[in-house]
Structure 1
Amino acid sequence: MQRRQFIHALAAVTASSPLLLTSTTARAAAGNVSVPLDAARWSPRNVQRLQLLLSQHGSASAAYRAERKPYAVFDWDNTCIMNDCEEALLMYQINHLQYKLTPEEFSQVVWRDVPDETFIADYKTVDGQPVRMADIAADVVSDYRWLYTNYQGLAGSRSLEEIQASEQFKDFRAKLYFMYDAICDSFPLEIGYKWIIYFYKNMSPAELQAMAMASNKAALGDALRKVRYESPRSLPGKAGVVADTHFHGIRVHEEIRGLMHTLRANGIDVYVSTASIDDVVRVFAGHEDFGYGVPAENVIGLRLEMADGKYTDRYQPGWHFNWGPGKTVGIRQQLQAKKGYGPILVAGDSDGDAWMLRDFADTSVGLIVNRMKKGEIGADSKLAAEQLGQPQARFILQGRDESTGLMLPDEQSLKYGKRERKLLA
């Protein structure tokens, strides 16, 4: 699925020419030449705007100071990649039953910080009945107890294939994924985003990252497809029959990956700010198999409290919630406070990124991967639409095709299953 290697050199020289790349990067770092951005599938207007940023702030600029190195901050999910690696990991963990939880521990995690209330009206049974947290939690815990007793990877003797064919597994998958979406949409988003990572309890960072690596590779090899999962009618349980849809598949955004390399070649550091747990994103952002080259210490995300080298089901005390306004907090505390200045470039796609896109006086460009959303990111996107073609545009929109995961040479995007590109929601 990798379309081509990113072009680093000044003219049609690929990253497969390491000696010339090293030479070019060294000259750029010395202030002698600017390494240009590969136009690839970028909107032509965005190429011009990003190239101007590189010439104004990169190491070839007369104003560049190595001791005051500029930096850029990227959201990860649906910005650096197509789709969400932690939601993909949730489905991978379910499908492979990769838990290190007893049934009692699983029950505790299911209830961690979640109110015992009825979900919003969007989350009803297939027969139109309301769903209460207590009822669906009881069903999922009951399913897990059966799976734990029977699956050979936990405490039983049956193979994964046998387990996946069972009604209990199908009920577990549909209802647990339904719970995640329902919790995120029914209650403050912070509850749902933390809840999903509590299921890593009792894993070491190495174990979590091995699972994340397997999930990433499976999702990269999977088709981009939306699958509806409905719980079996033979097991209505207390909650009844529910259904939810998961968007399978992940794609590398080659243009974003290329931009990261071009920024570094021009003496600009690259950071990632994510609302996923940082140890999961570090696998994708830093492992050589994926090519982004972001050091582990340059990833800011959610964090769990640790005990004896393993994750607990408690959020790290004193650590901010790295979403929305919290991403601004993270950048200010972890980067601006140490460097004395904010990022020159911020990239994102959703409400979780809207504040960091606009909160820093030092930011020259806010790059928005255009998902045609409303809300806070919609306000930023509207400003970008009003600034189309302006040489010094503060916000820019970058289009993509959600059916292929590829960027489009346009500010407009094509939603999954649609035929016409759109600029705004």
Structure 2
Amino acid sequence: MKNRKSTKLLALGLVFALGLGMSTAFAALSVTPATTKVTVDGQAVEVEAYNIDNGNNYFKLRDFASNLDFGLSWDAATDTAAIDTTAHYKPDPTQLITGNWAPTTRARIQAVIDENANSGRYVVFDFDNTSVIFDVQEALLVYQIENLIFKIDPKEMTEVLETGIPDLNKEMGKSIDGKTITPATLAADISSDYAWLYENYEGFGAGGKFDLDYIHATNQYQDFAAKVRFMYNNLGDFFDHAVSYPWVTYLFTGMTPDEVQELATASHKYWASYGRYAEETWTSPIELPGESGIVSASFITGLTFTDELKDLYATLRANGIDVYIISASPIDTILAANEAMGYGVPEENVFAMRNKLGEDGRYINEYNYDWGGEGKYAQTQGPGKSTIITNFIAPKYDGVGPLMVFGDSAGDWNMMTDWMDEGDTVLGVIFNRYRKPSSDPIWEGSNQAAQTIGDPDARFVLQGRNENTGELRPSEKSIMLGSTEEVLVRPAA
């Protein structure tokens, strides 16, 4: 439909206008089927209409909800209908909305749900680029930098930045002006910038007199922003994921869990309403090269917490299938998204990166491998996701693995496949990011999914998305950011 929102509002006005006087006792009136014709965007649609001899025509709200795709619910206890123009029409809570699902992908997921409803099974979701389009923690890092929300003592910043990096002098490329970049040089420059910002920005409460607009124009802020983002972007390319994944969590040092969740909630809401999906670049100023020189770092703007995924979570629960999240983002970032964006997963069913708390209840720069039992809490990335299932989830289900796993990249491949040969996991749902066969093992599942589209017993299915609009697509094919071309699976090398 064209202009879905305005069409909905017009239709609702029509429904209410034609529905005046519904409290009249129908028993005393003559009711006959009406021949009223209704069109939506010029197309005829079928609705039940009745002509009442008091001069009114009446339509079923459910017919309008179905044809215009808006949410409608009924509370028998209060005799009240509730309309939600921001939601999709859902006649049966146990069935997925059509939305922008690829039809064969939706059908396969629904079939697995129907076959296993109320049978004591569970599913596991990744979060970033699966339950949401793009990455909540990467977006949060930009929000945190732009708003300078840090609780790290300037004297401790270098130590925090260097946490867990095994070789501080390892070369991480050359700067734009030809300098050798290492973790040590980046930490030195960022710490110097942060000390200046801490003294001068009024928001830190250390005697600074300048507001955020003024600070954003300074060389120190621009150097700080570009180099923090550069360090985050590049640690994963030069070190193991066990080094790079927890690193960003250390930037919450000095904060309480509540403070991090408040920060994350603000970030999620900001980026969800940003309305623009694009790659942007920060470049450090030539006036302040520091030890690392001039660097550039890029990131993607915008997040979409899609209706289809939130509905999927709800549909699984309506079918008696338990839902778990295992994410490589920090725990408070995911808890904030889960609560603020309406996914509705119990907090005890969410597993993500966790740092230790100090005696004052504030985070310190150390990963908490001992949460839930000595040495049991692995990093929630790659093989660690399967370890989390083995140690914390499967024991609740007599050791049985997940029924379905939803993911998008290498970090989800282990948990998607580790229980397949045993027959526990019957379906892997892959959100299509057009991954490379040389660097991402989930390409194998994507390739198999592409060859079995429409197979009622497919082990893997693909779901496309349009990264330029932040939406799922009714296709297995995706459109990547900055492109107009539909893509399915990269050719094998």
TM over 0.5: yes
Q: What is the CA distance between 1:14 and its match in structure 2?
A: 6.0
AA aligned opposite 1:367: V
Q: Structure 1 residue aligned with 2:262, among 210, 230, 244?
A: 210
Q: Measure how far apart 1:18 and its partner are.
A: 5.1
1:95-244 matches, within 5 Å, as 95-114=146-165, 115-121=167-173, 124-127=174-177, 129-154=179-204, 155=206, 156-222=208-274, 223-244=276-297
Shift of 1:120: 4.1
Partner of 1:27: none
Residue 361 of structure 2 is matched in structure 1 by: 309
* Aligned counterparts of 2:450 and 2:394: Cα–Cα separation in 1: 29
Instruction: Please identify runs of 4+ aligned residues in structure 1 that moved more than 6 A.
Output: none
CA drift of 1:71 comes to: 1.1
List gaps (5 residues or longer) in structure 2: 9-61, 78-91, 370-374
In 2, Cα distance between equivalents of 1:389 and 1:128: 53
Q: What's the counterpart of residue 52 of structure 1? A: 111
Q: Aligned partner of 2:269: which letter?
A: K
SS of alignment partner, residue 263 of structure 1: helix
| Pairwise CA distance, 1:418 | 0.9
Distance 1:363-1:149 versus aligned 2 partners, 3 A rule: same
Structure 2 match to 1:269: 322
Within the candidate set 438, 444, 463, 1:398 is matched to 463
Q: Does residue 415 in structure 1 map to residue 460 in structure 2?
A: no
| d(CA) in 2 for partners of 1:414, 1:207 | 37
SS of 1:245's equivalent in the other structure is strand
* Corresponding residue for residue 362 of structure 1: 424
2: distance between equivalents of 1:116 and 1:251? 36
Secondary structure of the 2:487 match is coil
| Structure 1 residue identity aligned to 2:452 | Q
Q: What secondary structure does 1:236 align onto?
A: coil
1:43 to 98, 102, 111: 102
Out of 376, 382, 398, which is 1:324 matched to?
382
Residues 356-384 of structure 1: CA distance to partner in whole angstroms, max 9, x if unpaired? 11111311111000001122111121121
| Cα distance in 1 between the residues matched to 2:326 and 2:413 | 12
Contact 1:273 1:300 in 2 (8 A): yes
Identical pairs, percent: 38
- Matched AA of 2:129: N
Q: Secondary structure at the match of 1:191?
A: helix
Count of residues in Structure 1 that have an aligned counterpart in Structure 2: 397
Shift of 1:35: 2.0
**Which of the numbers 312, 320, 330 marks the counterpart of 1:259?**
312
Q: Is the 8 A contact 1:119 1:182 kept in 2?
A: no
Distance of 1:397 and 1:271 partners within structure 2: 20
Which structure: larger Rg? 2
Please say if 1:88 is aligned against 2:139.
yes
Distance 1:270 1:135, change over 3 A: same
| Partner residue, 1:353 | 412
Answering whether residue 312 of structure 2 is matched by residue 250 of structure 1, we say no
Q: Distance in 1 between matches of 2:458 and 2:384?
A: 25
Aligned to 1:17: 73
Q: From 423, 437, 443, give the equivalent of 1:378.
A: 443
Q: What is the CA–CA distance in structure 1 between the aligned matches of 2:74 and 2:265, rounded to whole Å? A: 26
Residue 394 of structure 2 is aligned to residue 336 of structure 1: yes
Q: Aligned-pair distance for 1:34?
A: 8.0
Which has the bigger relative contact order, CA under 8 A and spacing at least 6? 1
Once the two structures are TM-superposed, the CA of residue 127 in structure 1 deviates from its matched residue by 3.8
Unaligned 5+ segments in structure 1 are: 22-32
Over the aligned positions, Cα root-mean-square deviation in angstroms equals: 2.1
- Cα deviation, residue 297, structure 1: 1.2
Matching of residue 300 in structure 1 with residue 351 in structure 2: yes
Preserved CA contact (<8 Å) 1:119 1:183 = no
Change over 3 Å in CA distance of 1:393–1:34 after alignment to 2: farther
Deviation at 1:406, TM superposition (A): 0.5
- The amino acid across from 1:390 in the alignment is D
**1:259-306 deviation digits (Å, cap 9, x = unpaired):** 11111111111111100111210111123xx12111211111111111
CA contact (8 A) 2:172 2:182 kept: no
Which deviates the most, 91-100 or 131-140?
Answer: 131-140
Which segment drifts farther, 47-56 or 210-219? 47-56
Instruction: Give the corresponding residue for 1:30.
Output: none
CA contact (8 A) 2:121 2:397 kept: no
